[in-house]
Amino acid sequence: MSVTFKKITPEESWKVYDGAARRLLRISGEEFSRRWDAGEYKHSAETTVMQVAMLRPDGVQLAR
């Protein structure tokens, strides 16, 4: 068994995000970004929402 490392491009990172949004929430990454930025998930406690958000390549800021 072996786990290797792969550096992925911004486009591949977006595909990971988009794939997670489609797999977990049945929406596109673009639609997830729109809903997130509109605050529609602000009070959501769905773990799937945070799973997708944590993969978003742009626009998510750390709460420092």
Partner 1 sequence: MASNSRDKAVKGFSTTIQRALSCFATGKVFGDTYDLGVIGRLSLNGAKKVQLRGPGRLRISLSILYEVLQVGDPLRPEFDVSTRGYMHHLYSSAGDELIGYHWHPIDNSHATWPHLHVTGGKNHYPSGRILVEDVLQLAMEYGATPTDPKAWRRVSKANRERFASEATWHSYVPSD
Interaction site with partner 1 (CB under 8 A):
1-10, 12-13, 15-16, 19-20, 23, 36, 39, 41-45, 47, 50-51, 53-55, 57, 60-64
- Rounded to whole angstroms, the Cα distance separating 22 from 3 reads 25
Q: Show Cβ contacts of residue 20 under 8 Å, excluding neighbours closer than 6 positions.
A: 29, 51, 52, 55
Given the complex with partner 1, which of 28 and 51 has the nearer CB atom?
A: 51
If you search the block for the tokens 């049945």, which residue do you land on?
26
- Residue listed under structure tokens 């529609």: 40
Nearer residue to partner 1 within complex by CB, 30 or 37 = 37
To the nearest whole angstrom, how small is the minimum distance from the Cβ of residue 25 to partner 1? 13
